[in-house]
Structure 1
Amino acid sequence: MDVKKSLWSALTTLVLCLPLMAQASDEWAHKKKLGFDTTSTGVEIKEAVSQLPMLVRLHSGNFTFADAKPDGSDLRFFAADGKTPLKFHIEQFDAANELAIVWVQMPKLAANAKSDAIWLHWGNPKASSESNSKASYDAAQVLVLHFSEAGAVKDATGNANDAKESNAKQVAAGPIGNAAGFDGNTKMTIAPSASLKLSAATGFSFSAWVKPAGNDNATLYLQKDGAKSLAISLVDGKLAATLDAAKVIATGALKPAVWQHVAVVAGAGKLSFYVDGQEQGSGAFALSDIAGSASIGEKFVGELDEINLSAIERSPSYMKALATSQIADSAISSFDEKEETAEISYAAILLGAVTIDGWVVIGLLIVMAIISFWVMITKTISIAKINKANTAFITSFANKSDELLSPGHVEIANLAADPEMKQSSIYHLYAIGLREVKHRFDMQTAAGKNNSLSHAALDATRASLDAAMVRENQKLNSGMVLLTIAISGGPFLGLLGTVVGVMITFAAIAAAGDVNVNAIAPGIAAALVATVAGLIVAIPALFGYNWLSIQIKNVSADTQVFADEFLTKSAEMHSA
Structure 2
Amino acid sequence: MSYTLFRRSRRVLKSLAVLACLVATGIATPASAWWNKDWTYRKAVTVDTTTTGANVSGPIGRSLVLVRLHNGNFTFTDSLENGADLRFVDADDKTPLAYHIESFDPKAGVATVWVSVPVLNGGEKKQIWIYFGNQNSPVGEDAKGSFDPDYTAVYHFNEKPGEPSKDSTANGANATNAPAGIEDSAIVGHGAHFVGQGGVTVDATPALAMTAGAPFTFTAWIKPEQLSGDQQVFSRGSMVIGIANGMPFVAIGSARAAATAPVKQGDWTHVGVVADGQTIKIYVNGVEAGAASAALPAVDGPIVLGGNFIGAIDEARLSKTARPATMMMAMANSEGPSNKMVVVADSAEKAGGSANVIGFIVSKLEPVDAVIIALCMVLLSLAIWLMVAKVRYLNAAEKGNRQFFKRFAEMHENLVPVADLAGVTPAEASFIAKASPIARLYNIGIDELDVRRKTLGARPLSGEAVEAMRAAVDAQFVEENQKLDKMMVILTIAISGGPFIGLLGTVIGVMTVFGGVAMAGDVNVNAIAPGIAAALLATIAGLACAIPALFGYNYLNGRISALADQMRVFIDRLITRLAEMQADAAELRQAAE
Taking structure 2 as the reference length, what is the TM-score of the superposition? Answer: 0.52
RMSD: 1.8
Q: What displacement does 1:344 show?
A: 6.8
Match of 2:132 in 1: 122
Are 2:254 and 1:254 aligned? no
Letter in 1 for 2:86: L
Are 2:238 and 1:233 aligned? no
Q: 1:287 aligns with which of 276, 285, 296?
A: 296
Report if aligned partners of 1:73, 1:131 keep a CA contact under 8 Å in 2. yes
Q: Which runs of 5+ in 1 are unaligned?
A: 1-23, 346-576
Letter in 2 for 1:222: S
SS in 2 for 1:324: helix
Deviations 1:361-399 (A, max 9, x none): xxxxxxxxxxxxxxxxxxxxxxxxxxxxxxxxxxxxxxx
Match of 1:447 in 2: none
Deviations 1:210-248 (A, max 9, x none): 001121321111112xxxx21112111111112222222
Q: 2: distance between equivalents of 1:186 and 1:166?
A: 10
Q: 1:25 to 1:233 in 2, by over 3 A?
A: closer
SS in 1 for 2:61: strand
Letter in 2 for 1:29: T
Letter in 2 for 1:179: G
Match of 2:306 in 1: 297
Report if aligned partners of 2:257, 2:282 keep a CA contact under 8 Å in 1. no
Match of 1:476 in 2: none
Report if aligned partners of 1:205, 1:314 keep a CA contact under 8 Å in 2. yes
Q: 1: distance between equivalents of 2:172 and 2:346?
A: 39
Match of 2:173 in 1: 161
Q: 1: distance between equivalents of 2:247 and 2:341?
A: 28
Q: 1:36 to 1:327 in 2, by over 3 A?
A: same
Report if aligned partners of 1:196, 1:292 keep a CA contact under 8 Å in 2. no
Are 2:355 and 1:342 aligned? no
Alignment of 1:371-386 (within 5 A): none
Q: 1:38 aligns with which of 40, 49, 52?
A: 49
Match of 1:219 in 2: 232
Deviations 1:517-563 (A, max 9, x none): xxxxxxxxxxxxxxxxxxxxxxxxxxxxxxxxxxxxxxxxxxxxxxx
Letter in 1 for 2:321: I
Match of 2:483 in 1: none
Letter in 2 for 1:54: V
Q: 2:332 aligns with which of 323, 327, 331?
A: 323
Q: What displacement does 1:36 show?
A: 2.1
Alignment of 1:61-210 (within 5 A): 61-114=72-125, 116-150=126-160, 151-210=163-222
Q: 1:283 to 1:171 in 2, by over 3 A?
A: same
Report if aligned partners of 1:144, 1:306 keep a CA contact under 8 Å in 2. yes
Q: 2: distance between equivalents of 1:301 and 1:201?
A: 31
Report if aligned partners of 1:39, 1:45 keep a CA contact under 8 Å in 2. yes
Report if aligned partners of 2:224, 2:312 keep a CA contact under 8 Å in 1. yes
Q: What displacement does 1:167 show?
A: 4.0
- Identity percentage over the alignment? 34
Q: 1: distance between equivalents of 2:89 and 2:338?
A: 21
Report if aligned partners of 2:46, 2:127 keep a CA contact under 8 Å in 1. yes
Q: 2: distance between equivalents of 1:338 and 1:109?
A: 24
Q: 1:123 to 1:283 in 2, by over 3 A?
A: same
Alignment of 1:450-461 (within 5 A): none
Does 283-292 or 97-106 show the bigger shift? 283-292
Match of 2:378 in 1: none
Report if aligned partners of 1:26, 1:126 keep a CA contact under 8 Å in 2. no
Q: What displacement does 1:283 show?
A: 1.8
Report if aligned partners of 2:270, 2:285 keep a CA contact under 8 Å in 1. yes
Q: 1:203 to 1:196 in 2, by over 3 A?
A: same
Match of 2:454 in 1: none
Q: 2: distance between equivalents of 1:301 and 1:335?
A: 35
Letter in 1 for 2:159: E
Letter in 2 for 1:310: S
Alignment of 1:395-434 (within 5 A): none
SS in 2 for 1:66: helix
Q: 2: distance between equivalents of 1:79 and 1:167?
A: 37
Q: 2: distance between equivalents of 1:344 and 1:25?
A: 14
Q: What displacement does 1:146 show?
A: 0.5
Report if aligned partners of 1:197, 1:290 keep a CA contact under 8 Å in 2. yes
Rg comparison, structure with higher value: 1
SS in 1 for 2:261: strand
Are 2:60 and 1:49 aligned? yes
Report if aligned partners of 2:258, 2:289 keep a CA contact under 8 Å in 1. no
SS in 2 for 1:322: helix
Taking structure 1 as the reference length, what is the TM-score of the superposition? Answer: 0.53
